[in-house]
Structure 1
Amino acid sequence: MERIHAVAQEPLTPLHKVLLVVALILLLLSSIFIGLFAGVKHQLNLERGTPDGEPSSTVTFTVTATSTSIATTTASPPSPTAVPEEPVCLTGDCIMLSASILSSLDTSQDPCENFYEFSNGGWLRAHPLPADKGSFGVFESLAQDNEHVIQRILEDPSSTASFTTSSDDQLLVKLRGFYSSCMNETKLDERGHEPLMAVINNIRQMFRGKEAVIKEEEEEENKFKGLTAALAYMHSRGLDALFSFGIEGDVGVDPNYLVLWFSQPSLGLPSKEYYEEDDIRDVYQSVVERLLLTASEEDEQALHRQSEGALLLVEQSNNPWPPWGGDDDDDGDDEGDKKPINRTKRAHELAEAVVKFESEIARASLDLDILYQDPIATYNPAPISNLTAALPRIQFKEYFSTFAPRNFPDRVILTYPPYAESLSEILEKTSGDVIEAYLVTRAALSLSSYLGMDTEAWQAQRTLVEMLSGIKKGAVGERSEYCVGQVEQALGFAAGRYFVNETFGGESKEKGTKVITDIVKAFQKSLKEIDWMDEKSAKAASEKAEAIRVKVGYPVGSPNTTNPASIATYYRLVTGDEDKFFENILSASISDETRNWLQLGKQRNLDSWEMYPSMVNAYFNPPSNEIVFPAGILQPPFFNKDWPTYLSYGAFGHVASHELTHAFDSAGRLYNQEGKLEQWWTNSTSEGFQVKQDCIIEQFSGYAIDDGKGGQIHVNGNLTSGENIGDTGLIQAYRAWKAQYDSSYKTGNEYLLPGLPYSRDQLFFISFARVWARSMKAAAAVQRIRTDPHSPNNFRVDGTVFNIPEFAEAFKCSPTAKLNPPSEKQCIFWGRS
């Protein structure tokens, strides 16, 4: 005992620690395998019959009756729709896949009452929301996995040793230089506000013109002198202010002929509702004030350095920044001498005026539910003279020369014609000082996140981010995660070349494409059974579905992922200086804007992509009539080429059917198969669709979230109607899986997984629901409700299966279950009610 006691008192050596960890891991693995073995044994017992004397598995729960009496009922857990067939896959991959599904579930929940929690409760418990994030879910988790692949490519030269072309060398140097510049926090802190001040002073000097304002009475006329130049400078760098231009197809004439679109700008706050909330408005105003004061102090220091003969960082202006107006400071001294400027007071006054100015712009803007969901209301072609007349203070010929010097447009499409006139009125009544301060703060808010974290500007904008997303104050995530994300945004197609090489090989592209094409066929077949669609419209809808271009994995046009020279040309304007992250970001924005404007007046490149290969997303493009699926989303838990098909059709199949259904949702249905805005359905079919759309608007408008302040905010059923209709496409994925089941079963692609007491039909729906797991802070959830056309994820799951009778059948839901409503309450789009 003395020896044992002596040994126990000795500190653990590294070897002892390693052995303890190994022992714990082995114990954990043993527990998992024992559990899975028990599950398999249970399945086999179900097939062979329960041995004599062995009690059946039961679950006990209580039910409160309407008469207030308590009854205890014994019920079996959710059972398969049919007796499982052999064989059960027992490979390591199958065991791990089965374990991941089991761990995501919360079997204490009734799937017929709360399918989202049933499918995701386990995952949500195992993935608490990180302090540095306002929301985190399966999409974000997969995005992190994809970023880790790209991080290895950026940090390990040996990972790309097989790429030996000179264009690959050029791309990899640029990618790694861009990444290194972001990771070099020491350099960012050393540079301080200097790169931001270079942009601010350019805006200031352009806005004021070459000559300083001398006479106060001339201010009103001169305040517009350099506005056009300042706006063109900002917009060419992706900095939104006052209005925005886009280059998109003329959907009323020729969807592939690219023309100019004029629209409202983004705002400093996410949506117009925030400007009406005093607490949000106060924080926003304090952030604007801090940015203005920072610019003032930096300018003062630059002038001081100049007076000492230091190297000039910016050209000295005849007026100080911000434009303090030369007012005397009223300190009660009546001697008549000019007093020092109270910069803090002036910054406060300007910030208050800027927020008021921006609030008026917000009120003049079109509501997002119309902007996002009504392509007819937002298509207003007009001669360019209409725009120049509505906004006479902007010299559009000078503005366009910045972007398209030899291509002055004679026609423009206005998304909301009243906005230009409203903006003109707002500008006329606003002083030049306030307009200038607004431009500067728009740039500072957009760019300060690319500075060192020790700078006042970075900390000011971070305050706003934390408030709007609910992020814990001072919580910042891994720098490498942030920097990989910046590389993807700036050089996504370049990084995608190497990402695809590592993650998207074999038959992934072919099998992913098959899922999509099977769903298109299922959709076409279902058109004959839709009770609100007549034969003529069904035929046209089938033709549109047939004409849809399907793009999977990565682009092979411009740029071409398989051709490094094509990618190098695409990113020729993007720099990768290892010491200048801020400038690298600006060069990427300039590259995007330049490339965009060069398309004006040309035919659309039908091989182009709007998303880079590693992105965890997909999209439908109405003018091009195409659905696009990057390789980034064709990864687990959405897809794996070796999975049983009921899982792939449930998860990735929903993504595919969602994008296909967008071609026939509240907005997509207004585009014909050539991408042109046209009434191609009969009036009776359009009226029938409207009844269904009204149904789903009412359904989702009834859902609400906690606003974090003791109240609730309802989902905007109008804003989310298109995405909610897109989610109804899940039934097409289900039908597509069923249609190929027999042939797939014969080839062994419908194999069962061990330890899962659920049928294939049930697992199809579980696979669908699992990918939508997400935790959110209340502030982030409120922001999503107000700005995102997608409903909160729990409603996307439960609200979708609510309208699919096959779900209730698969889980044997009782007639009174929440997710098994009577048919008259369901919004069934793609069948008979």
Structure 2
Amino acid sequence: MSDREARASTDQETAPLLADAPNDEPHESFKDRFADMLHEPLTPMNKLLLLLVLFFLILSSVFIGLFAGAETRLNNAPSNGPATTVTSVVSKPTTVLATTTVIVAPVPSSPPSSPPPEAVCLTSECVKLSAAILSSLDTTHDPCENFYAYATGGWLKSHPLPSDKGRFGQFAALSRENLAIVQDILSADGSISLASLKSTADERLLTMLRDLYSSCMNEDTLDEFGNLPLKEVARVIRRLYRGDGTDIKSTDTNGSKKMGKGKGFTAALAYLHSKGISALFDMSPEGDAAVDPNWMILWFSQPWSFGLPSKEYFQDADMRELYTDVLTRLLTALNEEEPDAAKWEDLISARRDMTEAQTAQAAFSLDEHDTEEAQKIWPPWPWPPWGGDDGDKKPLDPETLAKKIVEFERNLANATLDLDKLTQDPFGTYNKVPISNVTSQLSKISFPNYFAAFNPRNYPEEVIVTYPPFVTDLGRLLNDTDDEVLEGYFVARAALSLSSRLSMKTEEWKAVRGLQEVLQGIKPGAVGDRAEYCVNQVDSALGFAAGRFFVNETFGGDSRDKGIHIIGSFKESLANIAWMDDKSAAAAAQKADKLRIKVGYPLSPNTTRPGSLLAYYNLVKISKLTFFSNMLSADASDVYKSWQFLGKKRDQEAWEMTPATVNAYYNPPANELVFPAGIMRPPFFSKEWPAYLQYGAFGMVASHELTHAFDSAGRMYNQDGKLEEWWTNQTSEGFKVRQQCIQDQYSSYYVLDPQGNKVYVNGLLTAGENIGDSGIIQAFRAWQSNFNASYAAGNEYLLPGLNYTREQLFFIAFGRQWAENIKPASLVQRVRTDPHSPNEFRVDGTISNVPEFAKAFNCSAKARLNPPDKQRCMLWS
């Protein structure tokens, strides 16, 4: 339009626009101007303009045709088919123009040629979830070569290892979040006020919890008492060991005085065991796996802990020297001259508040003759020096005594069964014998007095021994070791177990902490948040009570039902396993059907009923002042409760984990799966997540535990939890071939110790857990089998900003859970003691056996995590 052309006046517009100055020239239509132009000769300028117009029309038509043709072919292509390359050849402009006219012409009545693009969830929760997933990744790695680094690298970089820890990962991070919730509950100024509670029982529970927490947080009182609480424990041990019932007249061939079958040795040992302190051996009730898994019988096994984590550490001269130094410091501190007894006034008062029944249940009453003396928990002052009735015998100095204790413990550890055989051979570790077989070989122990300390209903006539040679070797060791060394060993076991409950200013706390720093690679002197430690202690002592309030805060709605649904969906995936014949498959399905699934919180004690919790904790007396004594009271209560089931039926509603725990477990004798509310939270579970993430994340946990029912040890328990061969020989042989494949695979993996030396994974020790991890394929198949129904229900929705398929996100959800920063020293300790492989191998080792992973990420045939099928250990194919 030229400058001379007029605009329409503003009173002719239907919408307000900014107008130019008015022009009174008459309006000439475009038709008139076009006709005039046709009758006029074309100037050079007009010819040039006309050519340019024609050129741009043709060019525009070409691009429109190409775009429309490509779009039509893409819309008509199958959604899951291979990509199609579209090539358009344009020979004549007129043809292109005609094609363009046809393609762009609207046809309202025709349906779309393919489904519309899927909607993406754009809520704040979906955006946060996408951000969390993206931030956990490190896409500089090739997922087909190192999926662990790919799925966890971002999280590892943004979560450096705290200086006070040897390892920290996703599990620990969620545990810290859970404990922060519990901490808020325990704080007097937290989210829950006593006045807001609707029942007196809840008020009493919360008061008990807060008193225990405040006693732990009261560092001024801890500093004031110093090492006095532990000194009193050491004095009780020594007093009981040197009791009047001790026979000290017998001697060995070298003239050393021996106690023989006296009550003193037994009394000291029973005292330790009554407080949950491991020493010499472990004896506790458990189900009779080969007869009636629900009938509780006595089991005798090797000790579940030593001063060093495993027998391998005792072979290391440097580690023995360090351990000897720690014991020297402990024994020296506990042998110092006793301070003024007046400082014990508050502690004595707190202990005297215990009822007579509670005192007996705390295992201080050993028999009727010694009841009065044994209940004198705080002995008279001053305590006599070492030697007593031993005449002129000079006691060993702390360093020499420590060396002898380390050598005794080294011999004790060498007598134990290797952990891989202990955990992977249920038949070999079930040896039922008359109780006399044990008592006759351990003549130093008065077993009637020992059992009386735990007040069982009936004297056991039979016992199941996990490793009979250990009983023989233990008896020989006890007979060949001086009493001074054995008494020192008992004191050392108490000090190693209880020093963390003292003031951090004490020599005992510092000595034990120094040992842990070396074993775990912790920065010397680095101490974590006191509140975190104290919340952990509360959960350890009163975890079911704390769990009631935790569940109310975090586990509402239908989380329980959704969790059970995901777990239950795996049962169908157990069918059609190549190496399992029809008879065994039917039995496996029967076992799966009889699985007892527990999710969220226990019913014994019943977390939903505060009265049930009060009854459960009625033996625990809590003081605001004496944290050390509070924990001893809780420990004794736990031990006492477990012994009350000897000769009775198992409590089938009981749990081994508290509700806030970030973990899960399968219990073979009970044939039960247990998933605490603590792990039913992001990044492991959310009822709001799309199903492919639920199955990849929580499905990983659920399938792992379900697979334990059919792993190297779990498969030996039938649907009722009874120990028997319920598979056919053919099926068992097929399983063993695949189990051996997995053992060999993981035995080839290694970690580096602090000096850079290789430490190989024990494929036998970790076999059961590695097989459990292989259950991820069960989760994948369960998700796929439910996909159509889930999609129709709107549970497979997409998340924003994630350029991944649902299959890829399933495996990413699986992999990112195992993110963990860990020090080399902690890694070595894990390899030597933990039946779980290091997390890197739990991810890459697992998915290398899953062809569906390689397909999801389009891995090449040469990729590290896409080996040929003949090299894969495919257990559930």
TM-score interval, smaller chain = 0.7 to 0.9
> Residue in 1 aligned with 2:85?
none
CA contact 1:120–1:769 (8 Å) conserved in 2: yes
CA contact 2:260–2:444 (8 Å) conserved in 1: no
Seen in structure 2, the aligned counterparts of structure 1 residues 180 and 601 have a Cα distance that, compared at 3 Å, is same
**Superposed, which structure 2 residues align to 1:383-462 within 5 Å?**
383-462=434-513
> Residue in 1 aligned with 2:15?
none
> Residue in 1 aligned with 2:184?
152
Seen in structure 2, the aligned counterparts of structure 1 residues 214 and 400 have a Cα distance that, compared at 3 Å, is closer
Separation (CA, whole Å) in 2 of partners of 1:465 and 1:597? 31
Q: How far does residue 222 in structure 1 lie from its aligned partner after superposition?
A: 2.7
The residue identity in structure 2 corresponding to 1:194 is L
Q: Does 1:199 align with 2:233?
A: yes
> Residue in 1 aligned with 2:578?
531
Task: Select 2:277's aligned residue among 207, 231, 239.
Answer: 239
CA contact 1:302–1:314 (8 Å) conserved in 2: no
Q: How far does residue 521 in structure 1 lie from its aligned partner after superposition?
A: 2.6
The residue identity in structure 1 corresponding to 2:132 is S
Seen in structure 2, the aligned counterparts of structure 1 residues 671 and 313 have a Cα distance that, compared at 3 Å, is closer
**Superposed, which structure 2 residues align to 1:118-517 within 5 Å?**
118-155=150-187, 156=189, 158-159=191-192, 162-210=196-244, 220-222=257-259, 225=262, 226-265=264-303, 266-299=305-338, 301=339, 314-316=379-381, 319-321=384-386, 346-517=397-568
Separation (CA, whole Å) in 1 of partners of 2:511 and 2:697? 41
Q: How far does residue 555 in structure 1 lie from its aligned partner after superposition?
A: 1.1
Task: Select 2:752's aligned residue among 680, 701, 706.
Answer: 706
The residue identity in structure 2 corresponding to 1:552 is V
Secondary structure in 2 aligned to 1:397? helix
Separation (CA, whole Å) in 1 of partners of 2:319 and 2:311? 12
Seen in structure 2, the aligned counterparts of structure 1 residues 248 and 814 have a Cα distance that, compared at 3 Å, is same
Secondary structure in 1 aligned to 2:257? helix
Q: How far does residue 85 in structure 1 lie from its aligned partner after superposition?
A: 4.6
Q: How far does residue 588 in structure 1 lie from its aligned partner after superposition?
A: 0.7
> Residue in 2 aligned with 1:744?
790
Q: How far does residue 604 in structure 1 lie from its aligned partner after superposition?
A: 0.8
CA contact 1:237–1:586 (8 Å) conserved in 2: yes
Task: Select 2:738's aligned residue among 653, 667, 692.
Answer: 692
CA contact 2:457–2:647 (8 Å) conserved in 1: no
Residues 406-415 or 214-223, more deviating: 214-223
Separation (CA, whole Å) in 2 of partners of 1:146 and 1:470? 25
The residue identity in structure 1 corresponding to 2:470 is Y
Q: How far does residue 420 in structure 1 lie from its aligned partner after superposition?
A: 1.1
Seen in structure 2, the aligned counterparts of structure 1 residues 216 and 416 have a Cα distance that, compared at 3 Å, is closer
Task: Select 1:102's aligned residue among 130, 134, 144.
Answer: 134
Q: How far does residue 429 in structure 1 lie from its aligned partner after superposition?
A: 1.1
CA contact 1:113–1:817 (8 Å) conserved in 2: yes
CA contact 2:249–2:259 (8 Å) conserved in 1: no
Separation (CA, whole Å) in 2 of partners of 1:485 and 1:324? 44
Secondary structure in 2 aligned to 1:297? coil
CA contact 1:223–1:431 (8 Å) conserved in 2: no
The residue identity in structure 2 corresponding to 1:536 is K
CA contact 2:225–2:343 (8 Å) conserved in 1: no
Separation (CA, whole Å) in 1 of partners of 2:855 and 2:388? 69
CA contact 1:290–1:457 (8 Å) conserved in 2: yes
Instruction: Tell me the alpha carbon deviations over residues 83-139 of structure 1, each in whole angstroms, 9 at most, x when there is no partner.
Output: 995101111111111011111100000000000000000000000000000000000
Instruction: Tell me the alpha carbon deviations over residues 685-736 of structure 1, each in whole angstroms, 9 at most, x when there is no partner.
Output: 1111000000000000000001111201000000000000000100110011
CA contact 1:653–1:733 (8 Å) conserved in 2: yes
CA contact 2:456–2:644 (8 Å) conserved in 1: no
**Superposed, which structure 2 residues align to 1:661-672 within 5 Å?**
661-672=707-718
Instruction: Tell me the alpha carbon deviations over residues 12-71 of structure 1, each in whole angstroms, 9 at most, x when there is no partner.
Output: xxxxxxxxxxxxxxxxxxxxxxxxxxxxxxxxxx99999xxxxxxxxxxxxxxxxxxxxx
> Residue in 2 aligned with 1:800?
846
Separation (CA, whole Å) in 2 of partners of 1:448 and 1:191? 13
Q: How far does residue 197 in structure 1 lie from its aligned partner after superposition?
A: 1.1
The residue identity in structure 2 corresponding to 1:221 is K
CA contact 1:224–1:432 (8 Å) conserved in 2: no
CA contact 2:456–2:643 (8 Å) conserved in 1: no
The residue identity in structure 1 corresponding to 2:257 is E
The residue identity in structure 2 corresponding to 1:90 is L
Separation (CA, whole Å) in 2 of partners of 1:608 and 1:126? 39
Secondary structure in 1 aligned to 2:440? helix
Unaligned runs of 5+ in 1: 1-45, 51-81, 329-340
Residues 378-387 or 314-323, more deviating: 314-323
Separation (CA, whole Å) in 2 of partners of 1:84 and 1:795? 41
Q: Does 1:655 align with 2:701?
A: yes
Seen in structure 2, the aligned counterparts of structure 1 residues 223 and 198 have a Cα distance that, compared at 3 Å, is farther
The residue identity in structure 1 corresponding to 2:219 is E
Separation (CA, whole Å) in 2 of partners of 1:238 and 1:232? 10
Give the aligned CA root-mean-square deviation in angstroms: 2.4
Separation (CA, whole Å) in 1 of partners of 2:185 and 2:386? 44
Instruction: Choose between structure 1 and 2 for higher RCO, CA contacts under 8 A separated by at least 6 residues.
Output: 1
Seen in structure 2, the aligned counterparts of structure 1 residues 791 and 324 have a Cα distance that, compared at 3 Å, is farther
Secondary structure in 1 aligned to 2:397? helix
Separation (CA, whole Å) in 2 of partners of 1:635 and 1:304? 49
Unaligned runs of 5+ in 2: 1-69, 75-113, 350-376
Separation (CA, whole Å) in 1 of partners of 2:319 and 2:581? 50
CA contact 2:248–2:259 (8 Å) conserved in 1: no
> Residue in 1 aligned with 2:630?
584
Q: How far does residue 514 in structure 1 lie from its aligned partner after superposition?
A: 0.9
The residue identity in structure 2 corresponding to 1:181 is S
Identity, in percent, stands at 56
Q: How far does residue 363 in structure 1 lie from its aligned partner after superposition?
A: 0.4
Q: How far does residue 220 in structure 1 lie from its aligned partner after superposition?
A: 2.5
Task: Select 1:616's aligned residue among 641, 659, 662.
Answer: 662
Separation (CA, whole Å) in 2 of partners of 1:207 and 1:464? 27
* TM-score (norm: length of structure 2): 0.81
The residue identity in structure 1 corresponding to 2:258 is E
